Amino acid sequence: MNPLKLAIRAFIAAALALAATVVLVTPAAALTRWNRTTVTIENRLDSSWPVETAVGPWHRASGLNIVVVDKCPVMNTSCVVLDYGRLPQGTLGKVEKAYDALHRFKSARITISDRILPEFDYLRRRCLISHEVGHVLGFAHDPANTRSVMYPHIVPGCQSLPSYSHIESLRGLYGYES
């Protein structure tokens, strides 16, 4: 066999072996904190969206008090507005965050595409909300793990729960003890 082909195959095999050992979940030290221990999510979506069900596992895992309300109070909370909006074709959700002077999150906006099809069932809606809340908490996409809530595509049978690694990262960041 051609020595160049052998070298390329060996390189690919080594890269795949290394990729299999790398954990892509963000460690606590690399995550950005919220500037308060209560994060309020102002839900402007209709009742077909299981917002509280999607937020619950993040709330229980993080040590943050994540509360879903109709309207954010003005004082003493970090507010996330969850609403519909026009997004580029193929984009289901988008998160925009604002930071305080210490580079901690102070507010965020989750926009859910106003073009979501009616066939987008309850589980996929829950997965999408949970995925976007993961971004609000500082997690990036996990393209290597199709079973991760942070996988960049919402597919049938998607995962709507944070993984053990997500939970450990959040508990390390916020000092939560189980």
Cβ atoms 36, 174 nearer than 8 A? no
Length of the chain: 178
Query: Which CATH number do you get for residue 69?
Result: 3.40.390.10
Question: Measured between alpha carbons, how far is 75 from 68 in angstroms, rounded to an integer?
Answer: 16
Which segments within the chain are labelled E, that is strand?
38-43, 65-69, 78-85, 93-99, 105-113
The pLDDT tens digits for 80-137 are 999 999 999 889 999 999 988 888 899 999 999 988 877 788 999 999 999 999 999 9
| pLDDT value, residue 63 | 80
Task: Return all residues near 48 (Cβ < 8 A) that are at least 6 apart.
Answer: 122, 125
Is 128 part of any domain?
Answer: yes
**Residue 110 host element (H or E):** strand 105-113
More confident residue, 90 or 43: 43
Is 7 part of any domain?
Answer: no
Average pLDDT over residues 53-76: 87
Is 6 part of any domain?
Answer: no
Specify the pTM: 0.81
Structural domain containing residue 57: 24-174
Is 146 part of any domain?
Answer: yes
* Nearest residue to 61 via CA among 150, 134, 154, 142: 134
| pLDDT value, residue 21 | 36
Is 17 part of any domain?
Answer: no
Give phi and psi for 151, each to the nearest 5: -60, 135
Tell me how many domains the chain contains.
Answer: 1
Is 97 part of any domain?
Answer: yes
Is 99 part of any domain?
Answer: yes
Is 2 part of any domain?
Answer: no
CB 120: neighbour CB atoms within 10 A? 16
At 4, the amino acid letter reads L
